[in-house]
């Protein structure tokens, strides 16, 4: 560590193209120090792991001098190995991410039925319920934004009108109480199941069975609380018979395949001419493969930039590229919402 009238600094070892090939020279890097004793000094700002500095020399060396390094490989050849290390670790991290958020088990036996250009026919929701069996579960949602009023607060809530199959097909897990019953659906009862964020934001607890909440001024009875995958989004699940509107898509859980699904839905005036069935597991797998490929390509490209450029600029490019890819994955996977909410493809 050196000091002059401008403060403390270190002699950084940098590399450039010279007449005889690669040359190493000394450059100044200003630092800020903290606590120190007779043997150690804390450097609080100015130098990073990626900036090799001169510690020992066999003669006096000043800023700008060209120097000969005995251990150049420790700093500059290792850069390639470091980039390879990043690629390996981040590729594994990407695969782990996709495993957690796009596990194919989440999509097994699911078929999404969407309108083929003309819009989904207006469905008789009672007939939809009648079609549901142990081998064939059909669900849907009618999505609304309402104002919820409770004893503690007033806030905007996403209201999901649906049927009893929704919890099974979409993977909702009860943490308190119960889902409303088939009888409640038939009678259009104002019963509601809240997700955990809604329960805690509106009541401060999940032990709220029997409490009431107002949606746009109408009183609803809380029958249960579910874990639906949302950490912050406030959701409320109610019988579709108790609200207005029509579903825009159907989600079907079956082992029968796309053709069997459409055949089963013919009684609802849903057929191959006006709707199409999408194998969700297959599409999820395709999206996962595409994103893994994109992640690998961007990381390799960033690593090349990292190797060829100066230390800090290359490191910044690498980290920025990785950050952008991870953000894109976070936005796109899963590509449809299997933890509550709308049964629609994300844009």
Residue that the structure tokens 């409320």 belong to: 236
For residue 240, pLDDT beyond 80: yes
Largest distance between two CA atoms of the chain: 93
Per-residue pLDDT at 339? 40
| Confidence tier at 70 by pLDDT (50, 70, 90) | confident
Spatial separation of the C-alpha atoms in residues 218 and 241, rounded to whole Å:
15
Q: What is the mean pLDDT of residues 49-62?
A: 76
Sorted by sequence, the CB contacts under 8 Å of residue 168 that are 6+ apart come out as 137, 253
Whole-angstrom Cα Rg for the chain: 30
Give me the helix-helix angle, 311-332 and 280-308, nearest 10°. Answer: 170
For residue 98, pLDDT beyond 90: no
| Confidence tier at 342 by pLDDT (50, 70, 90) | very low
For residue 306, pLDDT beyond 70: no
DSSP code at position 340: S
Q: Which of 279-283, 290-294, 304-308 has the lowest mean pLDDT?
A: 304-308
For residue 155, pLDDT beyond 60: yes
Residue 6 is encoded by which pair of tokens? 């401008």
Tell which residue, 340, 3, 2, has the closest CA to residue 173.
340
For residue 158, pLDDT beyond 80: yes
Per-residue pLDDT at 235? 95
Indicate whether this model's pTM tops 0.85. Answer: no
Q: What is the mean pLDDT of residues 52-64?
A: 80
Per-residue pLDDT at 233? 92
Per-residue pLDDT at 92? 57
Average pLDDT over the chain reads: 77
| Confidence tier at 212 by pLDDT (50, 70, 90) | very high
Per-residue pLDDT at 126? 92
Name the residue with higher pLDDT: 171 or 55: 171
Model confidence pLDDT, tens digit, residues 213-236: 999 999 999 999 999 988 889 999
Strands 250-253, 137-139: parallel, antiparallel or unpaired by DSSP?
A: antiparallel
For residue 73, pLDDT beyond 70: no
Domain locations in the chain as residue ranges:
2-70, 141-246
Residue that the structure tokens 């579709």 belong to: 240
Q: What is the mean pLDDT of residues 103-121?
A: 73
Name the residue with higher pLDDT: 27 or 237: 237
Spatial separation of the C-alpha atoms in residues 40 and 49, rounded to whole Å:
18
Spatial separation of the C-alpha atoms in residues 189 and 266, rounded to whole Å:
29
Model confidence pLDDT, tens digit, residues 25-45: 888 888 877 777 777 877 777
Per-residue pLDDT at 184? 94
Q: What is the mean pLDDT of residues 245-249?
A: 89
Q: What is the mean pLDDT of residues 232-246?
A: 94
Backbone φ and ψ for 340, nearest 5 degrees, come out as: 105, 155
For residue 337, pLDDT beyond 60: no
Per-residue pLDDT at 24? 81
Residue that the structure tokens 């796109």 belong to: 332
CA distances in angstroms from 181 to 126, 131, 168, 184, 224, listed in the order given: 14, 17, 14, 5, 11
Per-residue pLDDT at 320? 60
Per-residue pLDDT at 190? 97
Q: What is the mean pLDDT of residues 67-71?
A: 74
Model confidence pLDDT, tens digit, residues 184-209: 999 999 999 999 999 998 988 888 99
Per-residue pLDDT at 71? 64
| Confidence tier at 254 by pLDDT (50, 70, 90) | confident
Q: What is the signed CA dihedral for 337, 343, 345, 347, rounded to 10 degrees?
A: -80
């Amino acid at each position: 560590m050196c000091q002059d009238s401008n403060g403390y600094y270190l002699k950084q070892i940098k590399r450039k193209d010279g007449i005889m090939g690669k040359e190493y020279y000394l450059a100044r890097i200003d630092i800020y120090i903290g606590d120190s004793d007779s043997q150690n000094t804390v450097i609080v700002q100015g130098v990073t792991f990626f900036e090799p500095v001169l510690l020992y020399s066999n003669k006096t060396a000043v800023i700008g001098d060209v120097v000969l390094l005995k251990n150049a490989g420790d700093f500059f050849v290792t850069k390639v190995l470091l980039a390879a290390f990043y690629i390996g670790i981040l590729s594994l991290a990407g695969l782990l991410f996709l495993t957690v958020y796009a596990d194919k088990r989440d999509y097994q036996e699911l078929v999404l039925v969407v309108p083929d250009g003309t819009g989904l026919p207006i469905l008789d929701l009672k007939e939809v319920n009648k079609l549901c069996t142990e081998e064939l579960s059909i669900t849907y949602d009618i999505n609304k934004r309402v104002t919820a009023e409770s004893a503690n607060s007033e806030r905007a809530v996403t209201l999901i009108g649906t049927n009893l199959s929704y919890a099974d097909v979409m993977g909702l897990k009860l943490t308190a109480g119960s889902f409303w019953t088939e009888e409640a659906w038939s009678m259009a009862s104002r019963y509601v199941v809240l997700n955990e964020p809604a329960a805690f934001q509106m009541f401060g607890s999940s032990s709220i069975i029997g409490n009431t909440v107002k949606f746009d001024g109408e009183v609803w009875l809380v029958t249960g609380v579910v874990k639906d995958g949302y950490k912050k989004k406030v959701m409320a699940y109610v019988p579709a018979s108790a609200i207005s509107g029509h579903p825009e898509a159907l989600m079907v859980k079956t082992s029968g395949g796309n053709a069997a699904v459409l055949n089963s839905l013919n009684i609802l005036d849903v057929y191959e001419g006006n709707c199409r069935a999408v194998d969700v597991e297959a599409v999820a797998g395709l999206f996962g493969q595409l994103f893994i490929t994109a992640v690998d390509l961007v990381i390799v490209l960033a690593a090349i930039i990292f190797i060829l450029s100066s230390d800090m600029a290359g490191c910044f490019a690498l980290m920025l590229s990785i950050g952008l890819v991870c953000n894109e994955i976070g936005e796109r996977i899963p590509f449809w919402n299997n933890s509550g909410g709308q049964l629609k493809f994300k844009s």
